[in-house]
Amino acid sequence: MSKLVIVESPAKAKTIRKYLGDGYEVTASMGHIRDLPQSQLGIDVEHDYAPRYINIKGKEKLIRELKSEAKKADEVFLATDPDREGEAISWHLATLLGLDPEQPNRVTFGEITKKGVTEGMAHPRAIDRNLFNAQQARRILDRLVGYKLSPFLWRKVRRGLSAGRVQSVAVRLIVDREKEIEAFKPEEYWNLDAVLSAPGSQKKFTARLHSPVGGKKMTVSNEQQANEIVAALNGKDYVVTELNKGKRSRVPAPPFITSTMQQEASRRLGFTPTRTMRAAQTLYEGVEIEGQGVTGLITYMRTDSLRIADEAAAAARDYISGAYGEQYVCPQKRTYKTKSATAAQDAHEAVRPTNPAFTPEEADKSLSGDTAKLYRLIWSRFIASQMSDCKMDTVSASITAGDYLFKASGFVVTFDGFTALYEEATDEKEKKETSLPPLEEGQVLKLRELKSEQKFTQPPARFTEATLIKALEENGIGRPSTYAPIITTIIDRDYVEREAKKLKPTLLGRTINELMEEQFPTIVDVKFSAEMEKNLDKVENGTMDWHTTIDEFYKDFDATLQKAEENMEGKKIKVPDEETDEICEKCGRKMVIKTGRYGKFLACPGFPECTNTKRLVKDTGGVCPLCGSRMLVRRSQKGRIYYGCEKNPTCGFMTWDEPTAERCEKCGSTLFKKMGKGAHMYCAKEGCGFTKPLTRGTPAKEEKDG
Q: Say if CB 704 and CB 640 are below 8 A apart.
A: yes
Rounded CA-CA distance 11/568 in Å is 51
The burial class, CB within 10 Å (0-12 / 13-18 / 19+), for 234 is exposed
According to DSSP, residue 9 is labeled -
Residue 295 has pLDDT above 70, yes or no: yes
- pLDDT, residue 339, reads 64
What 3-state DSSP class applies to 156? helix
DSSP H or E segment with residue 537: helix 526-541
Q: Is 19 helix (H, G, I), strand (E, B) or coil?
A: helix
Residue 644 bridge partners (DSSP) = 632, 654
pLDDT at 63: 96
609-621 pLDDT, tens digit each: 898 998 777 778 8
pLDDT surpassing 60 at residue 340:
no
Fold of 258-385: Topoisomerase I; domain 4 (1.10.290)
Residues with a known catalytic role: 300
| pLDDT band at residue 447 using 50, 70 and 90 as cut-offs | very high
299 pairs with which residues across the strands?
Answer: 111
Helices 129-156 and 546-567 pack at an angle, to 10 degrees, of 10
Q: How many CA atoms lie within 13 A of 663 on its CB side?
A: 7
SS3 label, residue 445: strand
Beta bridge partner(s), residue 260: none
Asked if 401 contacts 237 with a C-beta cutoff of 8 angstroms, the reply is yes
| Alpha carbons 330 and 631: distance in angstroms, whole number | 54
Is the pLDDT assigned to residue 698 strictly greater than 70?
Answer: no
Q: Determine contact, residues 154/476, Cβ cutoff 8 Å.
A: no
Compute the distance between CA of residue 534 and CA of residue 529 in angstroms, rounded to an integer.
9
Task: Look at residue 375 and give its three-state secondary structure.
Answer: helix
- Please check the confidence at residue 700 and state whether its pLDDT lies above 50: no
Beta-strand relationship, 50-51 and 293-295 = unpaired
- Tell me how far apart the alpha carbons of residues 114 and 175 are, in angstroms, rounded to a whole number: 48
Task: Please provide the size of the chain in residues.
Answer: 706
**Fold match between domain 136-183+461-567 and domain 188-251+390-456:** no
Can you name the CATH fold of 188-251+390-456? Topoisomerase I; domain 3 (2.70.20)
The whole-number pLDDT of residue 120 equals 94
pLDDT at 638: 66
Query: What pLDDT does residue 705 have?
Result: 35
| pLDDT for 284 | 95
Cis ω before 649 (30° cut-off from 0):
yes
- Mean pLDDT across the chain: 90
Whether pLDDT at 115 is above 50: yes
Contacts of 330 (CB under 8 A, 6+ apart): 317, 386, 387, 388, 389
Residue 704 has pLDDT above 50, yes or no: no
Query: By the 8 A CB rule, do 706 and 636 touch?
Result: yes
What is the 3 state secondary structure string of 544-592?
Answer: CCHHHHHHHHHHHHHHHHHHHHHHCCCCCCCCCCEEEEEECCCCCCEEE
Give the right CATH number for 136-183+461-567 from 1.10.460.10, 1.10.3720.10, 3.40.50.1370, 3.40.50.720: 1.10.460.10
Of 127, 126, 119, nearest to 19 by C-alpha is: 119
pLDDT at 701 over 50: no
Buried b or exposed e, range 636-654, using 16+ CB within 10 angstroms = eeeeebbbbbbbeeeeebb
- The model's pLDDT over 196-207, given as tens digits with 9 standing for 90+, comes to 999 988 899 999
* Domain extent listing, the chain: 3-127, 136-183+461-567, 188-251+390-456, 258-385, 577-616, 631-706
**pLDDT range class, residue 668, cuts 50, 70, 90:** confident
Please tell me the distance from the alpha carbon of residue 478 to that of residue 470, in angstroms, as a whole number: 11
Mean pLDDT of 566-573: 93
Report the distance separating Cα 659 and Cα 590, nearest Å. 26
- What amino acid is encoded at 654 in this protein? M
Span 374-394, average pLDDT: 96
- For residue range 48-70, list pLDDT tens digits in order: 999 999 999 999 999 999 999 99
C-alpha to C-alpha distances, 308 to 261, 387, 412, nearest whole angstrom: 16, 14, 32
Express each pLDDT in 257-292 by its tens digit: 999 999 999 999 989 999 999 999 999 999 999 888
8 A C-beta contact, residue 117 and residue 109: yes
Give the separation between CA 556 and CA 545, rounded to whole angstroms. Answer: 18
Mean per-residue pLDDT, 132-143: 95
Instruction: State which H helix or E strand residue 378 sits in.
Output: helix 369-385
The pLDDT, as a whole number, for residue 390 is 96
Percent of the chain with pLDDT over 90: 72
Tell me what pLDDT residue 433 has. Answer: 57
Query: 203-255: per-residue pLDDT in tens?
Result: 999 999 999 999 999 999 999 999 999 999 999 999 999 999 999 999 999 99
Residue 703 has a pLDDT of: 33
Say if CB 496 and CB 169 are below 8 A apart. no
Other residues' Cβ atoms within 10 Å of the Cβ of residue 285: 25
642 φ, ψ (degrees, to nearest 5): -140, 180
Residue 572 neighbours by CB under 8 Å, 6+ apart = 155, 156, 157
Work out the number of other CB atoms within 10 angstroms of the CB of residue 598: 6
Strand pairing report for 3-7 and 75-78: parallel
Question: What pLDDT is recorded for position 696?
Answer: 41
pLDDT tens string 480-511: 888 999 999 999 888 999 887 899 999 999 99
Q: What is the per-residue pLDDT for 501?
A: 82
Q: One-letter amino acid identity for 328? A: Y
- Minimum mean pLDDT among 42-56, 263-277, 559-573, 641-655: which range? 641-655
pLDDT of residue 523: 93
pLDDT for residue 432 = 54
* Radius of gyration of the CA atoms of the chain, in A: 30
Spell out the CATH class of 3-127.
alpha beta
Nearest-5° angle of CA 349, CA 355, CA 358?
A: 140
E strands, 158-271, in order: 188-197, 204-212, 238-250
**Cα(575)–Cα(545) distance, rounded to whole angstroms?**
41
Residue 78's pLDDT band, with cuts at 50, 70 and 90, is very high
